[in-house]
Amino acid sequence: MRAILILAKLTLREAMRRRILLAGLLLGVSFLIIFTIGFHYLLVQLEAEIAASAPSQGVARIANAEIMNGFVIMGLYAVTFLSIAMAALLGADTLAGEINSGTIQTVVTKPIRRSDVVLGKWLGFAGLLGLYLLLMAGGTVLSVFLQTGYTPDHLLIGLSLIYLEALLVMTITLMCSSAFPALATGGIVFGLYGLAFIGGWIEQFGAYFQNQTAVKIGIITSLIIPSEALWRRAAFEMQTPFANALGLSPFGTISVPSGLMINYAVFYLIAALILSIRIFQKRDL
């Protein structure tokens, strides 16, 4: 366990040395500034239009709550994509790059198990992703709260599912990095994410038009990689009951992933981590 913690600390230092953390921090702050300014000006205009057209104050309050919830979900949708991109960038070159450059040999020649190397890197990247998501998602929610006093329902559940999605993609990237070069790893991971993305939308349209074949296609893609299912469940948890009932939000979900699918995603992550260890243990360095 001590070796894993040491390697996790070294992984954090390596990410800082390669400026990955700095680049993510700068881009994250830029995103939050743009989101905050854009939300402020749009909110002022939308509130004025609702106040002028709403038949009663009760209707105006409901409409304002729906708008604020929509902006939070929209911001968190962007945060989810950025977190996934960060997860893929962190993991793509870690094992593959060190194997290609030969620097991994300075680690594995020491009395350290190869499994400790993989687990140490995974733990270090998991910590980085947690900090990144805390900055991005926390900043998005805080921006809306400071301007309106609004926070979505089941926020912790939603953010936990988004974090699980980022961890899943990072673990898949680490698994591919233990077997393939960095460029191939990036192509595979983003290809899988694109498959999950389009499959999720097919499932949503299939549920809307009651086309069971389209719904089944979406479920199959979620079994191949359940990343999009995690986002849709997170959005379902954080959206208002009114938006979920009507299915009007482009970031909402009509076909809601079940708890069984969430459990499957956790099992998928653990299996990918175990497989990455097995591949790295048998890899000729």
Position 268 pLDDT exceeds 90: yes
Q: Give the residue among 243, 234, 231, 245 at the shortest CA–CA distance from 197.
A: 231
The pLDDT value recorded for residue 51 is 72
What is the three-class DSSP state of 152? coil
Above 70 in pLDDT, residue 182?
A: yes
Owning domain of residue 32:
2-282
Residue 230 and residue 162 in contact, taking contact as beta carbons nearer than 8 Å: yes
- Answer whether residue 245 shows pLDDT above 70: no
| 137-171 tens-digit pLDDT | 999 999 999 998 899 989 999 999 999 999 999 99
70 and 243 in contact (C-beta within 8 Å)?
A: yes
Read off the pLDDT band of 179 (50, 70, 90): confident
Would you call 45 exposed, middle or buried from its count of C-beta atoms within 10 A (0-12, 13-18, 19+)?
Answer: exposed
Structure tokens at 237: 């948890």
For residues 183, 187, 192, 198, the Cα torsion angle rounded to the nearest 10 degrees is 150
CA 26, CA 262: separation in Å to the nearest integer? Answer: 32
Per-residue pLDDT at 14 exceeds 80? no
Query: What pLDDT, in 10s, does the model give residues 226-244?
Result: 999 999 999 999 988 776 6
**Res 122: pLDDT:** 93
CA–CA dist 14, 42 (Å, integer): 41
State the pLDDT at residue 263: 96
Name residues whose C-beta falls within 8 Å of residue 233's C-beta, 6 or more positions apart in sequence.
Answer: 161, 253, 256, 257, 261, 262
pLDDT for residue 7 is more than 80: no
Report the distance separating Cα 114 and Cα 136, nearest Å.
33
Q: Scanning the structure block, which residue is given the tokens 């040491």?
A: 6
Q: Is the pLDDT of residue 98 over 90?
A: no
Residue 105 pLDDT: 64
pLDDT tens for residues 51-95? 777 677 777 777 778 888 888 999 999 999 999 988 888 887 777
Top pLDDT among 255 and 236 is at 236
pLDDT attached to residue 94: 77
Residue 11 to residue 177: CA distance in whole angstroms: 15
pLDDT at 33 over 90: yes
Average pLDDT for 167-194: 90
pLDDT at 276 over 90: yes
User: Does the pLDDT of residue 248 top 60, yes or no?
Assistant: no
Give yes or no for residue 21 having a pLDDT over 60.
Answer: yes
For residue 269, the tally of other CB atoms under 10 A from its CB is 19
What is the number of structural domains in the chain? 1
